[in-house]
Chains A and B, each alone.
Chain A
Amino acid sequence: MEVGTTPKTKPNFKPASTPKLIFPDRRFMRRYIVRRLIQLIPLLIGISLITFFVMHMAPGDPTSLFTDPNIKPEELARIRVNWGLDKPVIVQYFIWLKNAAVLNFGYSYISGKPVIEEIFERLPATLLLMTVSFFLILLISIPVGVISAVRKGSLFDNLFTVLSFVFMSIPSFWLALIFMMVFSLKLEWFPPFGNIILPCAVMVISGLAGITRYQRASMLEVLGQEYIKVARAKGLPENIVIFKHALRNSLIPIVTLLGLSLPDLFGGAFIIETIFAWPGMGRLGVSAVFSRNYPVIMGITVLTALLIVIGNLLADIGYAIVDPRIRYAEKK
């Protein structure tokens, strides 16, 4: 079976009806990735510059939170100097940048720990919760989306459509508290903290709706394509049509979504972490903002920016792998 390599304006049959993944030209891909990674540097500088200035614009500073009435203002002023906060903001930025370039992100104002250590201590808990939740979401939403599309208009479809909207509308903090009341307090099935099941359940229910709807829409679009009609006309059994041909192609936007969700995997969920006392990145980030813990704020920002770019890159590469029609053609 011939595999087309030149993009046609409107293909009337799907070349990738073979189950193989066609990997793009290696040499080309390497150059493409390197170019994207080099673009990362000006991007990070821009993001860090803006964040740094906005951060300093917020009223108050790290010492304003020491509100013990017995603390003398001269002491706060001295500590501000020790932290270099008396210098002009642009100077402070360049000092930060110089250190960040050699991966020295400084020390937390609150704990005195190196920022990198602070972040890496909280990452495992977040990664655990987020990856398990994400995995479960995919496990549920892809089949539900597919079946909803295939059986469009059926009871199944209507029921899950309504459920999707209900789940999308429920505020996660309310759901978290209800779950805690029912499962921890009344039924005593799980403890209010320490166990992954309850926070995971809340995350899954809250996140389910989005991907389900995406999958359903994507599947419907694919099912409406000409080549599906051709496959059916050829006499292929229905489940081959759906699972071998339509499904794979409907997953393309999901691949993109996965890549774009990379920062969320690392960013955590503040509300859920607070309610279930889960020691994750969400709480670290928010408390850093409230306490004006500048080094930690900058560390988390840089990490997030990095993840967004890498996530985008992975999505683009994944996209190119899954859909051989896509080539990032270089101008020769």
Chain B
Amino acid sequence: MKKNRIALPILMLVIVLAISACAPAAMTPTEVIVTEAPTEAVTEEPLALTEDAGEVPFTVQADPDLEEAITSLYQAYYAGESPAFVEADPDLVVTAVSDEAYVPGDIPAVFIPDAVLIPQNDSPDVAEFIAFAISIDGQQALINAGLLPAAITITDQAGNTVEIAQPVQKVISAYGPATAMVYGVDSEVSLVAAAYLGARDATGAAAMEAIDPRFQELSGEGLFSQQDFNIEETARLDPDLIIASARTAWLDTASELGIPFILYDAETPERLTEAILMTGSLFGPHATAQAQAWVAYYDWLTQSILDQAETIADADRPQVLFTGTNPLRVASGDMYQTSLIEIAGGVSVSAELTGYWNDVNLEQIAAWDPDIIIVPPYGGATVEAITENPDWQILTAVQESRVYQMPKMVVPWDTPSPDSVLGIIWMAQTLFPELDTPDCAEQANFFYNTFYNYAITPEEIDSICAFD
């Protein structure tokens, strides 16, 4: 806990600098054209002060410039009551984001850009209030008070500038990786229909169900894919926003509905970071903060690995082959998998290929002679298909049993999604077992708890992070 309090302000300062470079438009609320200021009533039932007359649920110590914001929230939550401000010994601290070097930890409750709610004790009233403040309803209340923009303008990854009314209450995600990002920024409550990555098989579906009980209902099987789109279903769901891949085929049709949509095109680590930050900015300050936390985590991880991998000479870097659903399909240099390998400190043997998955023959693989072969966790690919194939015994990697399968919980760790940080960690550990790179089990535990709000069990961690 103590570490977080110091780390957070520093973290926030770093993030402010990052944000101001990425999304300036979001910082000028008053200049944004307010289209329809949604005047929906706050859905949360205002709590009656039933305890004792005269007793407040909790006390607040707030920075002076944040008093107005916190008052609006409090009034919205407690039906017109004003918060009890104190100078010392409060239950809840409302202060500006602090500037600290990042260390993986809990994500702060950011309810307005730069401002954070820090509970001082375990009071359930405080906890509930914080949950309200960072929810959609809290965002709505702040919009009503004019402290947050009623609409934001975003430039998506296809270069389109789109205006989106806030808060986003109903979103359809037609792109699996984008869905994962929505979960990663803690905004899955807004989903009304989504395409899921890696949840088609039984284990993946079960895992996703455990993470989000709404999964079955949300996964509009057959409603959406990159090729196809059911316009009537979409209209019926009445979304505020659609997020999809830039390579989607049905964009023209969907634009007829007049619903704004945001396009994703993230095949490199840089673009992935952009995409996650963009996703965060769609759903309000709390989601933005969550996205920024991911980016900080990612940077911290890659730096840790880099520090370790620097000790290895270029010539000794492991040669890695990443195969696809078929052992003779390999990832090209343009694909995310190759970036993962390189960040993890290895060299992709198939980097000279371009495009998407490439088909090669066994002889070419023998010519490359990789040290390590990695098999993806989808499409029925297995390690045995390679290790038990007599013709593949000519390869060093097979002879030394260095054929591994990239893990996944739901989303495969080699796809451009928040989960891919774990892919980097796992790969670094696989490539450099002798180095002290971040530990897969430890980081998987942190990641799923923090970014998926999912209490991953030790058994699950074992099954994913096990090394043969």
- Say whether A associates with B: no
Chain A interface residues toward B at CB < 8 A: none
